[in-house]
Chain A
């Protein structure tokens, strides 16, 4: 999409750890991702795979203690966010990187008017006066498809439906046209019919502003529809990353294959769903090697022993698997 090949966001070797009572777990272990301007990267994985932690680590919103970003770099537009001062970071959060949360019902303040919440960022970060911010807030709401925004800005969050609230949250995020939008499961809490509208809205806004987007989801269908690139996470690690097309046509990691096999096929073929055997791993007791090895049908004894880094097996297609050739053999 973009001729400029430099990524807008590049996360290199990010490690985010949490100290728990029984030990330290790495919610992100050596995570690498890159997103270019105007591009959407989907992050897929099951609950607890470290997707949300990754978003928060990018914005440096990991509560510390217990959390700690212990290694890695988060390069945004050339600067390492992890090296910024808190005040500089606040500026980045307010203007250049925005985030949309999973549950719009709880991510707005229940006792403040929606209009006030939308215009607050404009006055805090852009020094807009009351009237100017108000006009801009109404315009933002109109742009995300809220009918008669002039009167609705006076209402409170409990008077709005979930879909409308998510639109309001997106409007807040779009204030000042951020370069990067982190969407942490933006449709999970919504009705299926509304999900599509919200995704379409996000894509439309992206097209208009050419922002980069990080779309976190556990829903492969959502990712397939909306993303240019996909990264699959498991146990805090990136297992596979590729363009959406390549990933869905020729997955190169057994976990990705397992995910795809456990989704009903809407074409109506009556094949039985194949679940991934076993349970998600206990992050406290991980083997040094591939965390997926105990559940993997292709695993060899080596898999659990040696750490496996992402390697490029086709242009732009990375996988953290020792035996990608076994997959293509198994698939056919």
Chain B
């Protein structure tokens, strides 16, 4: 995997690896890098305090001081969009990759052992999928109240299923390969065989899917926040900002348009990465075979 290669290889190898990336992967990675850096250095990048309300400067259109204009409470929209990266990308990351970890593990175990364990885990998976997600999250919110905790719980209950299916399907192919038998003849413990030997071979499709999932999860988070079920104002979450701005959409278009564009840009960068990664992993796979 490129990710793995980057972690362990020397700088020269990193450059060589990047040289093999497709243009989509390069552009997507660059966009994401800029977004992530802007999020990390938000206090430096953002010119204003995202929560500071300046009633002398409400509803200003984009201008030299306020790049994205100001909202109805006089807050600087550019600063809020920049701080929004910290919320949307971080929550999106967590609700994508935490379920990926245990989803892949569950799928790998089910696929490797088969039999009763496979049956039990897959029925559990069917149950999780059968539950309508929005109903589930509304139930969780009804019990725990709106907020990011409710989103975590609801997503963690459901989101692992796709990873488990992908990993299981790949494991079914992988477990009958010679190197798996060879690992057994070398007397390695089963956990080692599953997680050290098979995992690197079955993780590819999950990694590719996770990029698409990441995009969908950012949309989910902003969608739920837009509906008032997710992150609550005054936190600068993009979806919540769009919701706040929608009353002013005809007179002051920038309040909901620009945070909406932030969602589009973040989603596009991740989609490009997902697309490019799928191709790159495919190439590497062919080189190996």
Contacts and interface: CB of A to CB of B under 8 A. Distances in A.
Contacts of A157: 288
B187 A110 contact: no
A92 to B, nearest CB: 7
B281 to A, nearest CB: 11
Interface string A101-118: 101001111111000000
A109 B184 contact: no
Interface string B184-195: 111111001000
A61 B185 contact: yes
B206 to A, nearest CB: 14
Interface stretch (A119-127, A217-225, A294-302, A304-312): A119-127
B201 A90 contact: no
A61 B185 CA distance: 8
B289 A110 contact: yes
Contacts of B187: 89-95, 121, 124-125
Interface stretch (B122-130, B135-143, B173-181, B254-262): B173-181
Contact of B201 (A59, A109, A121): A109
Given A110-B179, A111-B200, A112-B200, A94 B188 contact: yes
A61 B190 CA distance: 13
Most buried by B among A106, A109, A158, A172: A109
A318 interface: no
Give the interface SS of chain B, mostly helix, strand, loop or mixed: helix
Nearest to B286: A158
Contacts of A121: 186-188
B250 to A, nearest CB: 55
Interface residues of B, number: 21
A156 interface: yes
B280 interface: no
A195 B187 CA distance: 27
Nearest to B203: A111
B185 A93 contact: yes
Contact of A103 (B1, B178, B196, B200): B178
Contacts of B188: 90, 94, 120-121, 124
B287 interface: yes
B179 A108 contact: yes
Contacts of B289: 110, 158
Contacts of A99: 182, 185
Main DSSP-derived SS at the A contact region = helix
B197 interface: yes
B181 A108 contact: no
B119 to A, nearest CB: 15
B184 A107 contact: no
B44 to A, nearest CB: 40
Contacts of B1: 111
Among B1, B182, B197, find the residue whose CB has the most chain A CB atoms closer than 10 A: B182
B186 A172 contact: yes
Nearest to B180: A109
A170 to B, nearest CB: 12
Contacts of A89: 187
Contact of B181 (A61, A112, A120): A61
A158 B287 contact: yes
Interface string B265-289: 0000000000000000000000111
B181 A90 contact: no
Given A120-B196, A121-B186, A124-B187, 19 more contacts: A93-B184, A93-B185, A93-B186, A93-B187, A94-B188, A95-B187, A98-B186, A106-B179, A108-B179, A110-B179, A110-B201, A111-B201, A112-B197, A120-B186, A124-B189, A124-B192, A157-B288, A158-B287, A172-B186
9 closest pairs, A vs B, by CB? Answer: A94-B187, A93-B187, A106-B178, A99-B185, A107-B182, A90-B187, A111-B200, A107-B178, A110-B288
Interface of B: 1, 177-179, 181-189, 192, 196-197, 200-201, 287-289
22 contacts: A59-B185, A61-B184, A89-B187, A90-B187, A90-B188, A90-B189, A93-B185, A94-B187, A98-B186, A99-B182, A106-B177, A107-B181, A108-B179, A109-B183, A109-B197, A109-B200, A109-B201, A110-B288, A111-B1, A111-B288, A121-B186, A169-B182
